[in-house]
């Protein structure tokens, strides 16, 4: 029995139409502006695309949406739109009714933008060195948040961040950490844009500096000191989404390459007339078919509540490696035109370079997959 039904494919067509109306015509402008504007968030919210489920049978629609966002061919836009979806997972799982009312629901309507603030200058894939600290003031019942979070997607535009911080004065790293909601519209939350990123240019990428930012005790997501088990589940979900997004980007790239090698002529012969070119494309197309099957199997597992670390890590590794491999081939076979700064192959390559270290480096994930695979 196929994972996706006719109804799912009808939903895909609807998503593609909406993205073609709201996103694709404006994508180059947003890349230049380094962010998605407020009006676009509201437009996506009004069309119901920011209110997709994080679990259950309906999650397959969310997977389709993520693939189609990736398939726009703009990885900065895919990240800007779907990282908030990852951040809202924590609110769906652990949020109180008040937190859902004040943060989750406005974000789903496109009225607020969420960021996910986990990485730090000295704690990227290795969160054992987490240094950002939030200590509770017993008199005011507010935490004072101090530290730095870096490479924060939508950091320049977000209204709030789901942040992982140390809340213990005595226990360092994740063992004493919590997940909390930090409002960013405050003088004690300083945003610094990351100038001229190599790729992912529409993400509003920023470093966030917290200098005693007041966070109400009621903004903790779940119990204090429970960040580790929350992240173990949350990062598996994040890697599933990153893998599906990369699948979309790889599909766009392989489709672009396929059209190019059939139409670009070397003398009287199309590129596809050369065996080495055909073999390269066949290999990429075959890998793409395998990754797509695995991605939707993984999405199905998640919808049943059965996603595991091995599956999430393996999908993220294979999909992002394929995305990069396809981008390199596309750049190569476009020749001199592909090496122009503003060409599509150049953009795909710039974006694909960073894919293997988003959501945890692939080297780290291979260790996790080794351990989780029972070897």
Residue pLDDT, tens place only, 332-358: 999 999 999 999 999 999 999 999 888
Sorting pLDDT into bands at 50, 70 and 90, what band is 249? very high
Residue the block writes with tokens 């190599």: 198
Q: How far apart are CA 244 and CA 294, in angstroms?
A: 10
* Phi, psi for residue 191 in degrees, rounded to 5: -100, 135
CA 237 and chain centroid, separation: 10
Asked if the model's pLDDT at residue 228 lies above 50, the reply is yes
pLDDT, tens digit, 9 for 90 and up, residues 95-148: 999 999 999 999 999 999 999 999 999 887 778 889 999 999 999 999 999 999
Which burial class, exposed, middle or buried, applies to 118 when counting CB atoms under 10 A from its CB (0-12, 13-18, 19+)?
A: buried
**Count of other CB atoms within 10 angstroms of residue 138:** 7
Q: What is the pLDDT of residue 373?
A: 84
pTM of the model: 0.96
Set out the domains of the chain in order of their start, with CATH numbers: 6-108 (1.10.540.10), 114-225 (2.40.110.10), 228-372 (1.20.140.10)
Q: What is the pLDDT of residue 374?
A: 58
Q: What angle do CA 356, 359, 360 make, to 5 degrees?
A: 70
Break the chain down into helix, strand, coil percent, rounded to 5. 55, 15, 25
Assess contact for 218 and 98: CB atoms under 8 A: yes
pLDDT digits (tens, 9 = 90+) for 356-367: 888 889 999 999
| pLDDT bucket at 152, cuts 50 / 70 / 90 | very high
Q: What is the pLDDT of residue 125?
A: 74
Mean pLDDT, rounded, for 210-227? 97
Whole-angstrom distance, CA of residue 281 vs CA of residue 291 = 15
User: Which residue carries 């920011």 as its tokens?
Assistant: 50
What pLDDT sits at residue 1?
Answer: 41
pLDDT digits (tens, 9 = 90+) for 259-317: 999 999 999 999 999 999 999 999 999 999 999 999 999 999 999 999 999 999 999 99
The C-alpha angle with vertex 251 and arms to 247 and 252, in degrees rounded to 5, equals 120
pLDDT, tens digit (0-9, with 9 covering 90-100), for 34-63: 999 999 999 999 999 999 999 999 999 999
pLDDT reported for residue 2: 61
- How far is residue 241's CA from residue 258's CA, in Å, rounded to a whole number? 26
């Amino acid at each position: 029995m196929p994972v996706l039904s006719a109804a799912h494919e009808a939903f895909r067509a609807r998503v593609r139409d909406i993205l073609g109306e709201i996103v694709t015509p404006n994508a180059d402008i947003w890349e230049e502006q380094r962010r998605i504007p407020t009006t676009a968030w509201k437009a996506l919210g009004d069309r119901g695309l920011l209110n997709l489920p994080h679990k259950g049978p309906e999650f397959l629609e969310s997977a389709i949406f993520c693939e189609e966002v990736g398939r726009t061919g703009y990885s900065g836009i895919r990240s800007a739109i779907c990282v908030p979806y990852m951040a809202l997972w924590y609110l769906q799982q652990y949020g109180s009714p008040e937190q859902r009312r004040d943060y989750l629901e406005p974000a789903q309507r496109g009225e607020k933008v969420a960021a996910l603030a986990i990485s730090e200058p000295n704690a990227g894939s290795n969160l054992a060195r987490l240094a950002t600290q939030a200590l509770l003031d017993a008199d005011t019942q507010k935490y004072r948040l101090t530290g730095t979070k870096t490479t924060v997607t939508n950091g320049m535009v977000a209204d709030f961040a789901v942040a992982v911080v140390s809340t213990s004065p005595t226990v360092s790293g994740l063992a004493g950490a919590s997940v909390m909601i930090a409002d960013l519209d405050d003088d004690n939350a300083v945003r610094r844009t990351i100038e001229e990123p190599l790729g992912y240019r529409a993400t509003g990428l920023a470093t966030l500096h917290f200098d005693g930012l007041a966070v109400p005790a009621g903004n903790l997501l779940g119990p204090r000191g429970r960040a580790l088990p929350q992240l173990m589940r949350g990062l598996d979900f994040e890697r599933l989404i990153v893998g599906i997004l990369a699948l979309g980007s790889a599909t766009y790239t392989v489709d672009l390459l396929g059209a190019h090698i059939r139409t670009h002529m070397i003398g009287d012969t199309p590129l596809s007339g050369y065996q080495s070119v055909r073999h390269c494309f066949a290999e990429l197309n075959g890998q793409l078919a395998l990754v797509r099957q695995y991605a939707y199997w993984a999405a199905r597992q998640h919808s049943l509540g059965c996603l595991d670390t091995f599956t999430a890590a393996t999908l993220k590794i294979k999909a992002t490696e394929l995305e990069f491999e396809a981008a390199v081939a596309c750049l190569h076979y476009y020749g001199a035109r592909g090496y122009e700064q503003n060409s599509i192959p150049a953009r795909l390559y710039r974006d694909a370079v960073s894919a293997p270290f988003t959501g945890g480096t692939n080297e780290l994930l291979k260790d996790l997959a080794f351990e989780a695979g029972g070897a």
